[in-house]
Amino acid sequence: LNRVYTNSWNKLAVGRCRYGLMLGEDGMVMDDGVTSRLAENHYFMTTTSGGAARVMAWLEDWLQCEWPELKVYLTSVTEQWATLSISGPNARRLLSELAEGVDLEADAFPHMVVRSGKVAGIEARISRVSFTGELGYEVSVATSYGLALWQAFQRVGENYDLTPIGTEALHVLRAEKGYIAVGHDTDGSVTPGDLGMDWIVSKKKDFIGRRSLARADTMRTDRKHFVGLLPETRVPEGAQIVAEYKRRPPMKMIGHVTSCYDSAAMGRPIALALIAGGRERIGETVTIPLTLQGRVVKAEITSPVFYDPKGERLNG
């Protein structure tokens, strides 16, 4: 874990979880996820949803070809677990009606902790993690019990207005919080520094990709930064951003939109973008040309965190 993630894992206690950022050898963000320490020498790693097989092959390549001296063994359990994520201000109360043998109170079960117990009579692993920015739990059970767990949540959830959500709604919620989606807000040319995530890069240890972070190109001050946008209207993801609009090309492109959604919480469209020197441009207005016929959208550059910047809902 210390070698493949940018941050340190030496002091992670049993029963705790930690967010990790994984780089390629070129220093560019490759994957991220939450890893839990289940026992002294037993860890459970999660990856981006579509990245599990790729990351598994990547880790095996390093273990078998570069670090054969390590006594580390990897087992893919993607198909062995069914996981339901429950988020929102009533998540703890709802889960408490189904959980057995687990104290769900905030002091006993804080954010980034994992516990084992029973949920709806089923042996389960419960992690207090969240990709929505709300109070949240992930409940994992053996795959064959997945449907039974879903039905139990639906039944008890009727008292709490429980609503199933899909990927689109999940992405709106994470975008409101400025959470990155690797492969969506990154494209293989983005470093932790570009994302404003220097806080997760250890300066005391080596890891895959570290030396590439010291390349002259990687350290340029005019690299594209991950920022928020407040556009006049919703714009397509991938739309180009220019500092100065002209009726005819060429125009100097300074960035592009990585994510854009209609936010119910904000009551307006919001977007995430990569813009050259973006953190120094916060407060500026930029232009997003959409057609050759001259349709343009104005947008204000902001912080990527639009909603609940102090994380009060996450720690509810």
Q: Is 265 helix (H, G, I), strand (E, B) or coil?
A: coil
Q: Taking residues 64-82, what's their average pLDDT?
A: 96
At residue 244, the pLDDT reads 85
Would strands 240-242 and 224-231 be described as parallel, antiparallel, or unpaired?
unpaired
168-180: burial string, b at 16+ Cβ within 10 Å, e else: eeebbbbbbbbbb
Q: Which are the contacts of 227, defined by CB distance < 8 A and separation ≥ 6?
A: 272, 273, 274, 275, 278, 279, 281, 282, 301, 302, 303, 304
pTM of the model: 0.94
What does the mean pLDDT of the chain come to? 95
Q: What are phi and psi of 58, to 5 degrees?
A: -60, -45
At 303, is the pLDDT very low, low, confident or very high (cuts 50, 70, 90)?
very high
Rounded Cα distance between 313 and 6, Å, is 27
Per-residue pLDDT reduced to its tens digit, 146-201: 999 999 999 999 999 999 999 999 999 999 999 999 999 999 999 999 999 999 99
